[in-house]
């Protein structure tokens, strides 16, 4: 997950509290010592209790998928590591503040794209069926239109106008709306049990 570590314009330095809450990590901030919960980005103890950090868009991807979408990307300087994670055990969670929805990754792979409405916002959840590390959540609201999207061999297609968008960057490629860009929305991947712990009122797809 990626959070903006800024509160009322003030930059926060955060460390590892070494404690778990709801089986998820907690942080401490260096100036007040408040303790923060990672999955909700909220201080649960200390002077900042109840304050919240903004969740920012990020992508869990294979290195190949990320690099092809962002050829100029910088890479965190570490020695080589491998991960043995199975994305089919996870869900893509879209968190729009007042409503949260978890989309099962294997079910997403069956359809490629889901058009949905979360907290009053028209969204599309997109995944590459062959590389589930590549997914994105977009707003379907453009300047004046709301688009309904489907996956085709060319990319993400607006059913009404035939406009093709890049499925992971949201950039228009061809068609009447090619000069427009779908906005990316905050989302992350989670195991279902963790999602139920932190978002007990959250919706799941398929329901």
Partner 1 sequence: MDSRRSSPVGLVLAGIVAVAAVAVIGGRLAADEAAADRPLELAAPYEVYDPVSAGEPLPAGFRQLLGRDQILPVYEPVFTEASRVDWPDDMLVIGVAGAEEAKAYPVAHLNRREMVIDSLEGIPILVTW
Residues near partner 1 (CB under 8 A) are: 1-6, 11-23, 25-28, 30-35, 38, 44-47, 53, 56-64, 66-67, 69-78, 80-83, 85, 133
Please, what is the minimum distance in Å from the beta carbon of residue 120 to partner 1?
26
Contact residues for 174 (Cβ-Cβ < 8 A; gap 6+): 154, 163, 164
Please, what is the minimum distance in Å from the beta carbon of residue 162 to partner 1?
27
Select 33 or 206, whichever has its Cβ closest to partner 1. 33
Please, what is the minimum distance in Å from the beta carbon of residue 73 to partner 1?
4
| Torsion sign over Cα 170, 174, 177, 180 | positive
Select 17 or 180, whichever has its Cβ closest to partner 1. 17
Rounded CA separation 123/115 (Å): 6
Q: Quote the Cα angle for 24-25-27, to 5°.
A: 145
Please, what is the minimum distance in Å from the beta carbon of residue 110 to partner 1?
21
90 sits in the region (left: phi over 0; alpha: psi -120 to 50; else beta) called beta
DSSP 146: B
Select 14 or 142, whichever has its Cβ closest to partner 1. 14
Select 76 or 144, whichever has its Cβ closest to partner 1. 76
């Amino acid at each position: 997950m990626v959070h903006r570590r800024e509160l009322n314009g003030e930059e926060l330095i955060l460390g590892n509290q070494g404690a778990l809450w709801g089986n998820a990590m907690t942080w401490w901030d260096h100036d007040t010592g408040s303790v923060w919960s990672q999955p909700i980005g909220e201080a649960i103890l200390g002077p900042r209790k109840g304050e919240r950090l903004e969740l920012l868009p990020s992508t869990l991807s294979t290195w190949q998928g990320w690099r092809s979408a962002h050829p100029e990307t910088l890479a965190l300087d570490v020695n080589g590591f491998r991960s043995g994670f199975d994305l089919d055990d996870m869900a893509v969670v879209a968190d729009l503040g007042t409503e949260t929805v978890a989309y099962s990754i294997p079910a997403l792979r069956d359809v490629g794209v889901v058009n949905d409405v979360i907290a009053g916002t028209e969204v599309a959840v997109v995944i590459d069926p062959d590389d589930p590390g590549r997914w994105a959540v977009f707003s379907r609201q453009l300047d004046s239109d709301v688009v309904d999207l489907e996956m085709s061999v060319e990319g993400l297609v607006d059913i009404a106008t035939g406009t093709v968008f890049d499925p992971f960057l949201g950039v228009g490629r061809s068609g009447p709306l090619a000069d427009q860009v779908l906005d990316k929305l905050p989302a992350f991947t989670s195991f279902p049990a963790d999602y139920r712990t932190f978002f007990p009122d959250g919706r799941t797809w398929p329901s």
